[in-house]
């Protein structure tokens, strides 16, 4: 494996995609949304290019790809500095199934889970892939009122 990477061009489209993901780092973004938003911005980017850029960004570890079990549409989220530094490997993520917010959870209690499961259950959890689904405070309240 080599760290050296082939010459990579700096294009407007690449900058646009990355900029949008960065600007909405707290949310997950679908390919369709990205496509539509860039078009609305007056800097339309082809679908193929969007997917290719996302694929590359994912390979570089700058964004993470999620798959909501709604339909077959995937979504991406900017991990940026954290993902680059690799700090996200040591904690878990909470994702609200209602509003889609992703919460980074740095907590010693939670960190012990990985060890516990490995020791007692013989299963190596991959925190980078594991996400807790549930309801955030705001959505829990809203739903409580609704029911």
Subset of 16-75 contacting a second copy (CB under 8 A): 65-69, 72-74
Q: Does 77 bind DNA (CB under 7 A)?
A: no
Question: For residue 70, what are the CA distances in angstroms to 49, 65, 66, 74, 108?
Answer: 25, 15, 12, 9, 32
Q: Does 129 bind a second copy (CB under 8 A)?
A: yes
Please tell me the distance from the alpha carbon of residue 141 to that of residue 27, in angstroms, as a whole number: 20
Q: Does 12 bind DNA (CB under 7 A)?
A: yes
- Give the pair of three-digit tokens for residue 75: 């979504």
- Give the pair of three-digit tokens for residue 53: 């850029």
Its sign, for the CA torsion 115, 120, 124, 125, is negative
Q: Does 142 bind a second copy (CB under 8 A)?
A: no
Site residues, a second copy (CB under 8 A): 65-69, 72-74, 94, 96-97, 103, 105, 107, 109-110, 113, 116-117, 120-126, 129-137, 140
Site residues, DNA (CB under 7 A): 6-14, 30-32, 44-49, 51-53, 55, 71-74
């Amino acid at each position: 494996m080599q760290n050296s990477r082939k010459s990579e061009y700096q294009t407007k489209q690449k900058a646009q995609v990355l900029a949008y993901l960065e600007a909405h780092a707290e949310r997950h973004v679908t390919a369709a949304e990205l496509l539509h938003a860039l078009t609305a911005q007056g800097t339309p980017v082809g679908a193929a290019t969007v997917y290719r850029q996302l694929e590359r960004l994912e390979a570089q570890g700058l964004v993470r790809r999620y798959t909501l079990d709604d339909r077959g549409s995937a979504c991406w989220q900017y991990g940026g500095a954290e993902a680059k530094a690799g700090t996200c490997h040591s904690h878990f993520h909470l994702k609200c199934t209602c509003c889609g917010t992703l919460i980074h959870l740095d907590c010693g209690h939670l960190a012990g889970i990985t060890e516990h499961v490995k020791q007692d259950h013989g299963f190596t959890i991959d925190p980078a892939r594991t996400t807790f689904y549930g309801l955030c405070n705001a959505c829990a309240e809203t739903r409580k009122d609704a029911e």
